[in-house]
Each structure stands twice: as structure tokens, then as C-alpha cells.
Chains A and B, each alone.
Chain A
Amino acid sequence: MKAEANVIEMPASAGGFLWRIQKAKERVLKTRPAMDLENAVLLTRSFAQTEGEPLVIQKAKAFAEQCRKKTVTIWEDELIVGCSGKKIRGGLLSADVCWAILDQELDTIANRPYDPFQVSEEERTLFLSEIKPYWKGRSNYEKFLKQTPPEAAVLKETGIIYIDRKAVRGPGELTAGYDWVLQAGINGIRETISERRSRLDPTDPEDHRKIQYLKALRIVADGIVALADRYAAEARRQAKQEKDPRRKEELETIAAICERVPAQPARTFHEALQSMYLYHICLIMEQNAASYNPGRMDQYLYPYFQKDLDSGVLTVERAQELLDCLWVKFSEPCLFQDAKTAEVAAGYNMFQNACCGGITETGEDAVNPISYMMLQATMDVQLNQPSLSVRYNPGKNPNAFLKKIVECISLGTGFPAFHSDDVGIKMLLNKGVTLREANNWNPCGCVETNLMGKSKEYTAFADVNLAGIVELAMCDGVHRMSGRRVAPSTGTPASFETFEAFKEAVKAQLRFVVEKVVEANHVLDEVSDERPVPAASLTFAECIEKGSDYSWGGAKYNSGNGVIFDCVADFINSLSAVKHLIYETGQLSWDHLSAALEKDFEGSEEVRQLCLAAPKFGNDDARADDLAAEMLWFAAEEVHRYRSRHGRMNCGMLPVTAHVAMGKTVGALPSGRRAWTTLTDGISPSGGTDVEGPTAVLRSVSRIPHTMYTSGTLLNMKLDPELFHEDRGVANMMAFLKALCDLGIYHVQFNVQSAETLLAAQENPEAYRHLLVRVAGYTAYFVELGKDVQDEIIGRTVQFQQR
């Protein structure tokens, strides 16, 4: 949706409303995450009452019961209301999916190292007396564990793969049809359901099933409207008691809005925001999961904004305030998952990916005032949600938009995630989507790809530890840490007469592991038939037309799930070191290297130094990068060979924090990395090994076939604040990002170098050899500088952070 005039006058960010945002932020930041079992109890009681009905009807009725009975609260001074549970930072348990994970951790979850949740005595009792007894033996998670093929289970136990992520909570990873809710309202969608129902024949067995399904959709639609009515009533109740006339009026407005939306089409910008958020909390309520993505908000919100602005009922400043309020709301939900998954994806992060920029369906510039305001909201709010993404199209999007992006990046919050629009579009095309629809893509979760209201795929189903695969190839299929044989014998190092022979062994191990992941995937797909999501399916038009749930494949486009390759740089660097040291320069023999790895380089520091000095990925060095290109093409094509019930299997490279957890199970590597230490995130170079600077990193990363990895590829970069210094620094950053698009790289996210990093480098120079500091006219490796000079640079960085 393109604006008439592209750049609008923005209110100063010290706008008169920031007190409200600050207050809401503090409410979030001061609340410790706690388990919130109200919904789980309501669901359990409803299921007990509806036994014997079709599963999807049971699920729909339970959802509607939650809508009618859950606690409804409006917090002080908020303008956008709604909460998926009872508590502001509550961990929701989807009892039908995975009750057992709370059971395992009931005594430890309050103190676990990653993402702890408090559990009240009362809730503990409710869990043990009501939830557990009802669901025992019935959940998806239990079924998935029981049915996981034994070889996959062993690979999981030894940290080579991780496949439980989609079973320990809901799968999420979808972008519901928010635009349809805004335009048609739930009432309009109800009419579509009725119309579809009228074309079905109850005597036809296929139609019979569809009729049941449409009934379930009707039930959830009624529930959503009932929930909105309850928020309206609560607003009226509070308004009646409110003494402050300003707040009284605000509450009355909220009441009027919730009486109208989402049941009816939104008319104003405020109604549009409230409508989308009310529907959004319903998705989380239906199934606790990460990655329910608001998607291209600038596109579906813009018409309401412009209409209000034209008619004079809204100012830009008020619109920004409302958007900022919504931004804080996105930080309220907390992701509950088991301890293991929390370690793999730490930070309570809901990965609600909101996106701006890019092109329209027909290929025109899509940037409009809301695109800028979304960036401004992230700059105003500075919380970790929503996950703000930009689609940037160098040919079509204005420079002013890129400049705003760089301003936001320079705050150092890591947002926005920057995506090359063209690569995203190609990824969608590579999933068989039409060009017009591909143009409308949106990032999902971390960096995956989605289509609002149209696509279904569990984009990050499994994690594959590539570092572990190199280790298997060096150890003939035996897992070094446990000594267990977990994979077929592919030859001992002594048998690798050429580097090609070793590479073939690595490929064979990879092939085996992918095969096992695919088998486990089919189990997940089967089990997932028993967790329909009618509330989410409601806004996938084809689910209504086909009378089939999202989780059964009802959406327009269905893809096989995503296999995520982790620890890419460790993998490439290990292959590169073996090639260089053993087969090219002859500086090491396999015996020498294997012995050093076995003992974690104990007593053979010179071997480790040789390993560290071997060619590394991230330096624009063909000796390493050629291997990256070859092996990552191979890995992607290996995954693409397989089909699932929902389509061709897909892959990506986005570890979240899996590389940290996986590191604990992998011994010393030829890359020079020590045993049991963290591995490398995404497609970034390993810490301390990229010594040629950021342009070399991009050139290396561009060797990866990004468009083959349709679940996305994730690049993290750290930048010296000096690079942003002055107008010319901003211009250079803009050029850098345009060049990234030229190189066909999909995504980058920046952290600005902090004083903490520099202090850490002072403590541990070896891990920070790559760290460049820039002073006008001079660039130096930080760790090489004297302590006094280092201190001076730290002082300068602190100054920057305080700006």
C-alpha cells in the first residue's frame, strides 16, 4: 500500500505521550515471568465436558470457553487492550499439546538457568489435581516422544539433532490473515463460513467432515467476539469508576472500539490496531507458541491511518502514540517451553515478526508513512518485541526509508532485522508461490518466510548440528563425548587418502542425519493432525473453502517443514583446516590432529595454533569459501530431495541459541575450537576469526546459496559505533546495506559494539582478534593495542552509549 507523499513530518520522539509508553514499559520490565494456568484449567474442564465430540469441536469449544471465562483486565493508562492470559508476563501451558513438560519441571522451573517461571502454590495444586490427571497419555508431546524413530532419538540424545521444538509447545510460525479481520470483521468471516456451508451436502461423507469443521470455526468466531465484548464491558466498568476525566474518556473510547471490533470491519486507525491485537491474543491463547507474526503491518494499517488523517480525527503524533502502545503490548506475552528448548531458544522471546517496506503485490514501492512510524515505534519503545523486520528493495524503496533504518540500527538494539527483498521473493518462488503472491512475502519468527493468511509450514522444525556431523565423519560414526555409535561407519581418518575421500564421509554422515530428521518429521506431521487450530485457521481463506484446518494442510500453500542447519562456520572451518593442514601443506598428519582433538589440544598448543591459522570462513578467502558454497549447496539439495505430506522439505540456517547448547556436546574441532565450548551462530564467521573486516564477511557470506534456504539465513554482525559517526557514516552504512542486497545476501542484524565487548576483549584477547576499532583515519585490531590506548577507546565507546 503506497502513500501519496512518502516522507511525513514525524513528531519529535520526545513527544508528549512518552510518559504513557514509559509507564507501560515499566509494567512489563518490573514483572517477573510466572506460569499462568487459568487457560489450561478452562481448557481441561471444557474437554472433560465435551468428551465424545469431534476433536476439533472440542478444541473450538474449549477456546470459546476461555474467551468467555478467562480473566479480563485493562491496565492503567493503556490505549490498546488485551491479554492472552490472566497475567501480564504469563507462561501459557497448552495442556492438550504438552502438559507433561510442566510436570517434569514443576519443582525446578522457578530456578532453571534459562527462562525461569514462578509457579504459585494454588496453580501447582490445580495442575496436579486437574490438568495432569486428565491429559496423562493424551498429549501430542507424549505421542511424539513415543513414536520418534529410535535412530533419531539417539541422534537427539547426543546433540546431533534437536527435533522437539514443535512438540513441546504449539508450532506457531504463521502469519494469520489480519488484513481480512480488519476489512471484513469476524462477522464478515462468519458470513463466508455460512456461504461455504450452504454449498455442502451433509449426505456426502467428505462434506460431512467439512460441515463439522465449519461448525468449529463458527464456535471460535463467536468466542472471539464474546471476548471483545468482555473487554468492552470491563472498559465501561472502569470508566464508570474513573475520576480523571481524561482517562474516563479514554476508557469510554476503548469500550466503544471493543464493542465494534473485531466483530465488524475497522473504520479508524485505533479500531484497526485494537482489532488486530485482539485477534492476535486469540492465536496465542489457542496455542502457546512463538512466531505468530503480525506481518506487513504498514500495508494493512496504512489505509486507516490516511483516512483518519484526511478526515482530521487523527494526528500523526496520536497515531505514533497508539502504535507505540501496541509495541509495548507485544512485549507482554512470554514464551513458555521446556528447559531444553529454552536453552536452544532462550529469552522468553515470542518472535512476533512485524515487517515494513518492500514492494507491493504488483512490484511497486510499498513504503508509506506507517513504515517509518514502525521504525520510530521500535526506537521509542526499545523492548525486545515485536521483532521488527524490514524488507528493503534498493531499486524501489526511497533512500529516506533506508536512512531511517540506519538510524534505528545505530541505537544498537539489534533492530530492525534487515532483509533483502529480492532474496525473500526468490525464496517464496522457490516454494512454488506465484510471483504476485511472492511479492507480498513477510519474514516470520527469526528470518523465515511466510505469506499472510496463505502459507503453512513449520519453518524451524529440526536443528541439525553441522559441527557434530564433521565430528562423526572424523570418528567413523561414533559420538566422541558419549562413545556411542550413532551413525553408520564411514571410514577412519587413516582410510581418507585424499581430501575428497574425507569430504565424501562428511557428506555421507550428513545424508544419514537428514534422512533420520525426515523420518521424525513425518511423525510430527501425523501427531499434528490432533492439534487443530481453528482460531488461527479462521483467517486462512482456503481453510474455510476446503473445510480443512491449518494444521491438516488447509492453507493455500503448504510446504514441508524446515530443517535448520546450525554451526555453519565451525563446519566450514573444520573442513578447511583439514584440507589445508593435512592435504595441502602437510603441516599435520591425521594421527597428529586426531590425537590433539581427542585430548582437547591438551599439550599440543602448536597444533591448535596451526588449526586457528588455517583458512577461515568470513575472510573472503576462496580456500574456505569454496567449501562453504559446495557443502551448503549439497546440504540444501539433500533436504530438498525429500517430500512430506505437506510438500517438499525445506531448510534454513537460523540457530536462535541452539549453537550454544550444541557446543556442549561437541569435542575439539579442526577449526581450533576447544571441546564443549559454544559453537557459531547462524551464518556468521566464528568469533575472532574474521580479520578482514565487514566487507570480507559479506563477500564470504554471499557464497552461500541463500535462496535455497527458504527458512532463511541469519547473519549477525557487530559494528564499531565510529562507523555511524557523522552524516557520512550513515551514508556509508546505507551503501553497505545496498551492497549486501547486490551480493544476494538475505538478512543481517547488527549489534553495535559495546564497551562490555571491549572489556571482554581486554580480558580474553584470543577470542577477539578480529575486533577492529576505528579512529579517524586509522584502524587497528583492538587486542594489539596497549592497555592505556585500549582504555581510551573503551572510554569513547561508553560516551557513545550514553549519547
Chain B
Amino acid sequence: MYGIPRSHEEAPAAVAHSAAAEGTVARIERLAVHDGPGIRTVVFLKGCPLRCSWCSSPETQRSEPELLLDRSRCLLCGACLTACPAGAIGRTENGEIQTDRSLCDGCGQCALTCPSGARRVVGQTVTAAQVLSEIEKDEVFYYRSGGGVTISGGEPLEQPAFTLDIAAACAARGIHTAMETSACAPWDRLDPLLDFLDLVFVDVKHMDEAAHRKATGTGNRIILENVRKLAKDRRKREVILRVPVIPGINDTEKNMEATADFARDLAAVKRLELLPYHRYGIHRYEQTGRSCGTEAVMVPTEAKLQRLASIVRTRGIPVQIGG
């Protein structure tokens, strides 16, 4: 709920907090309705330790600013050619503009001169206070809907001081604050945040260590360990586990059973959410000059989702399909 009263001991410095930490934000989305209760503003931070092949926002993976290129908007005017200090942009014989990403450091000079918005830079370095001023814009909507702020990514724990500053400042304003995380970080990054968070979403992508490593580039031991700690934490924050359902990668009944068994032992887990794979982020791969690992993967069927959901439900854990 909006304005959950926190005791003074819990957040001693919050009111006077300067929110001075700097961080890199990929984008801020308003009127988000699927990442926590009510109408929310979601702050997507840049940088993630995982490399999930199905990632729907690959532009948030690297921590540095990077160039997004939408060729359909390009006027071929050539303003970017002279703007690029790294000499990464050239024109081919048939007049096309080519960008050598190995030379590009994401400085954004080309985007500043691009008249059509074909070139954009994802990743802006800002202070937590600047993020707050964006967040405050929709306060009236949070208040009316029981909504608030969700810090997401990328991975918020990759920028712990920045995330802490944002969360603390939100808490000081009585704004309901959630974080969406892979929990793939040392516990001492998560721990201080729990003073200020009302709700934590943790992605559990696979229960099998080897399979997790294969799909995301990283093992799951630290993730599961963090979830257990989170569930036992004295501050009793609400926890929701999220399982992306990616056909051919983690959608077996066996994995769902293991996930549900894991969740059943953790009383703080409020529910489990199955997030069906979708293809709405595929265009981002081309725009960031990456190749998409799940181009050929189709979305899971409704029947499949229902079957997986029932596995969770029979273990007495509330489950919902979609965020």
C-alpha cells in the first residue's frame, strides 16, 4: 500500500537523504501496471550480470551507454558522419551509412545531431535525485491506485549505491517501492536495501545449476541462497518469485516441480508468477547490433502454461500467469 508507515529506526537517514549517488538508467516507464500493485513507474537500470538468451531488453545488459540504431528512421542525411569523434561511422559507395560498433564507445554525439531519432543512446548517467524528480511526477497516480515505484533492469544490484539512494528517497516520501532482481549479487548488496523496499521480485530462471549456467551464463547457487535469506529476513518484506517460461529452455514439468518445491519451503513467498516468453523485444537485437538467441522460439501455448501453473498450485502456492 501507498504510504506504509516505517518506524524511525528502520530508515533513520531517509528524510535527510541527499540522493546524490549517480547511476546509469536505461529508461523510465510510466503507467506500468504489471510490475507490482497499482499504477507504477518502473526505473530500468543498465547493466546485468546475466546473459539470458531470451532477454527482451538486450540493450540493458551492458553497463555502459550504448547506441540504438533504428534504420527505418534514417534519412541518410549524414549528420552523424562528422559528429562521431571516434570515426566509427562511414558511408558506403551506394550511399548507406555504416557504423562500426567495435569503434563506438556510446558517447552519443551522433544521436545529438541525428534529426530523425534514428540514433539514440540507451543509458543516461543521472543522480538518484534526478530519477526522483521523474518518479514524483506520477505521485497522484500511485496514491489513487495503491501503486508506486519498481526498480528494475538490467539488474539493480549492479548499481547498489544508486539503487539504495533511490529506494531510500522513495521510502522517505512514503512511496511504495519494489525491486525486480535476478538476486545474482553478494548478499551485502541486497541487505541494506531491505530497509526501504516493500516488495522484492526475484527471477528464478532454472533450478538446475548446469542448465542455469547454460541459459544465462551464470550459475544459480548465489541466487537461490539469496532467496532463502530474503525469505528469512527479519524485515519480512514481501517476496514474489518470477519464472520466465521459455520453451525448450526451462519449461519442463520437472523444472517447474523443483521451482515450486523450492518456493513451498519459503513462507515469505507470496506467490509465483509465470512470465510466458514473448517476442516483443526481438527488434532490439537488431537495433543494438546483437543477434537474437531465441529468434526461432515460439511463445508457449496456453495449455502448457496452465499445466505448469497447476503444478505450482497443487503445492499450495498461489500462482498467476503474467506479471
Contacts and interface: CB of A to CB of B under 8 A. Distances in A.
Contacts of B322: 776-777
A692 B70 CA distance: 19
Contact of B282 (A692, A773, A774, A789): A789
Contact of A699 (B33, B39, B137): B137
Interface stretch (B72-80, B227-235, B253-261): B72-80
Contacts of A775: 278, 280
A732 interface: yes
A735 B137 contact: no
Contacts of A699: 137-138
Contact of B280 (A620, A692, A738, A785): A785
Contact of B141 (A736, A777, A792): A736
A694 B140 CA distance: 13
Nearest to A605: B75
B202 to A, nearest CB: 15
Interface string A31-65: 00000000000000000000000000000000000
A10 interface: no
Contact of A789 (B34, B72, B137, B280): B280
B141 A735 contact: yes
B30 interface: yes
Most buried by B among A610, A695, A786: A695
A778 interface: yes
A434 to B, nearest CB: 30
A785 B284 CA distance: 9
A598 interface: no
Nearest to B41: A695
Nearest to A742: B140
Interface residues on A, range: 35 or more
Interface string B35-61: 100110000000000000000100000
B141 A739 contact: yes
Contact of A776 (B34, B79, B116, B282): B34
Contact of B278 (A610, A736, A778): A778
B30 A735 contact: no
A729 B198 CA distance: 22
A531 to B, nearest CB: 47
B145 A732 contact: yes
Contacts of B29: 693, 779
A609 interface: yes
A803 interface: no
A79 B280 CA distance: 52
Contacts of B146: 735
B320 to A, nearest CB: 10
B289 interface: no
Contacts of A780: 280-281
Nearest to A769: B117
Interface in B156-188: none
Contacts of B38: 731-732, 735
Interface string A712-741: 000000000001000011011001101100
Contacts of A792: 279
B32 interface: yes
A523 interface: no
B36 to A, nearest CB: 11
Contacts of A736: 39, 141, 144-145
A776 B275 contact: yes
B283 A785 contact: yes
A610 B115 CA distance: 5
A49 to B, nearest CB: 63
A699 B141 CA distance: 10
B4 interface: no
B192 interface: no
Contacts of B39: 695, 732, 735-736, 739
A606 B141 contact: no
Contacts of B275: 776-777
Most buried by A among B29, B116, B147: B116
A735 B145 contact: yes
Contacts of B140: 739, 742-743
A777 B32 CA distance: 8
B76 to A, nearest CB: 10
A613 interface: yes
Nearest to B42: A779
A139 B280 CA distance: 62
Contacts of A739: 39, 140-141, 143-145
A8 to B, nearest CB: 27
A765 interface: yes
A601 to B, nearest CB: 12
A784 interface: yes
A786 B282 contact: yes
A731 B37 CA distance: 10
Interface in B106-147: 115-117, 137-138, 140-141, 143-147
B31 interface: yes
Given A606-B77, A735-B39, A765-B72, A778 B280 contact: yes
B115 A695 contact: no
A792 B298 CA distance: 12
Contacts of B137: 620, 695-696, 699
Contact of A692 (B30, B144, B147): B30
A742 B33 contact: no
Given A699-B137, A742-B140, A732 B30 contact: no
Nearest to A692: B30
A606 B75 contact: yes
Given A732-B39, A742-B140, A696 B30 contact: yes
A784 B30 contact: no
B12 interface: no
B31 A784 contact: no
Nearest to B115: A609
Interface string A401-444: 00000000000000000000000000000000000000000000
Nearest to B28: A692
Nearest to A731: B145
B85 interface: no
B318 interface: no
Contact of B31 (A693, A742, A743, A765): A693
A693 B144 CA distance: 17
A287 B95 CA distance: 66
A742 B115 contact: no
B14 to A, nearest CB: 25
Contacts of B56: 778
Most buried by B among A620, A731, A732: A732
B323 interface: yes
A277 B70 CA distance: 59
B44 to A, nearest CB: 11
Contact of B35 (A695, A777, A788): A777
Interface in A751-803: 765, 773-780, 784-786, 788-789, 792
A723 B33 CA distance: 8
Interface string A600-620: 000001110110010000001
Contacts of A738: 144
B75 A777 contact: no
Most buried by B among A606, A607, A785: A606
B32 A776 contact: no
28 contacts: A606-B116, A609-B115, A613-B117, A692-B30, A695-B31, A695-B141, A696-B30, A696-B137, A731-B145, A732-B39, A735-B141, A735-B147, A736-B39, A736-B141, A738-B144, A739-B39, A739-B140, A739-B144, A743-B140, A774-B33, A776-B276, A776-B322, A778-B34, A784-B70, A785-B280, A785-B283, A789-B280, A789-B283
Given A731-B38, A776-B275, A777-B322, 14 more contacts: A605-B75, A696-B137, A728-B33, A732-B39, A735-B146, A735-B147, A736-B141, A736-B145, A738-B144, A742-B144, A765-B72, A776-B322, A784-B283, A788-B279
Instruction: List the 3 closest pairs (A to B, CB-CB), nearest first.
Output: A735-B145, A776-B322, A609-B115
Interface of B: 29-35, 38-39, 56, 70, 72, 75, 77, 79, 115-117, 137-138, 140-141, 143-147, 275-276, 278-283, 321-323
